[in-house]
Amino acid sequence: MSERLQPGDVAPAFTLPDADGNEVSLAAHQGRKVIVYFYPAALTPGCTKQACDFTDNLEVLAGAGYDVIGISPDKPEKLAKFREKENLKVTLLADPDKQVLDAYGAFGEKKNYGKTYMGVIRSTIIVDETGKVEHALYNVRATGHVAKIIKDLGI
């Protein structure tokens, strides 16, 4: 498990396949603010709620200069199903090797019902136009999280 990112850190560079298998990199968003959120699994209730919330607020976020990227350990094919089923507009990226999840501190030890296991830590990292971490939010809730981000960013 890697260290959690802190505001002011340089956001780790990444290039991952999207739902259609096209490579998407953080560097391609240079000059724009980017909300990178990490979620455990496509097509699950909490992750669906979160992805739909981001999609529903995409115009507001984009209007304020933010791009939104969701990253999970799912394969591109599952992300494509997720996008189609839920009519998602956010960019979904596949990280089956969990290298980016790990680099962002979004993969590690979790506890559930008294059991400890390794898994995706629901996290949101907001990267500024220069590629530095502006906000690093870990163990966020799926429900109400997007509204909280919008409020906290003053959008």
Beta carbons within 8 Å of 22's beta carbon, 6+ residues apart: none
Q: For the chain, give me the number of helices (H) and strands (E)?
A: 5, 9
Per-residue confidence (pLDDT) for residue 110, from 0 to 100: 86
- Annotated catalytic residues are 47
**Residue 19: C-alpha distances to residues 38, 72, 150 (Å):** 15, 11, 26
Q: Along the 155 residues of the chain, how does pLDDT read in single tens digits?
A: 468 999 999 999 999 999 999 999 999 999 999 999 999 999 999 899 999 999 999 999 999 999 999 999 999 999 999 999 999 999 999 999 999 999 999 999 888 888 998 999 999 999 999 999 999 999 999 999 999 999 999 99
For residues 25 and 14, the answer to whether their CB atoms sit within 8 Å is yes
Q: Can you tell me the distance from the alpha carbon of 113 to that of 136, in angstroms, rounded to the nearest whole number?
A: 26
Q: Which of 129, 128, 147, 149 has its CA nearest to residue 137?
A: 149
**What's the pLDDT at 2?**
62
Model confidence, pTM: 0.95
Closest Cα partner for 30 from 153, 132, 125?
132
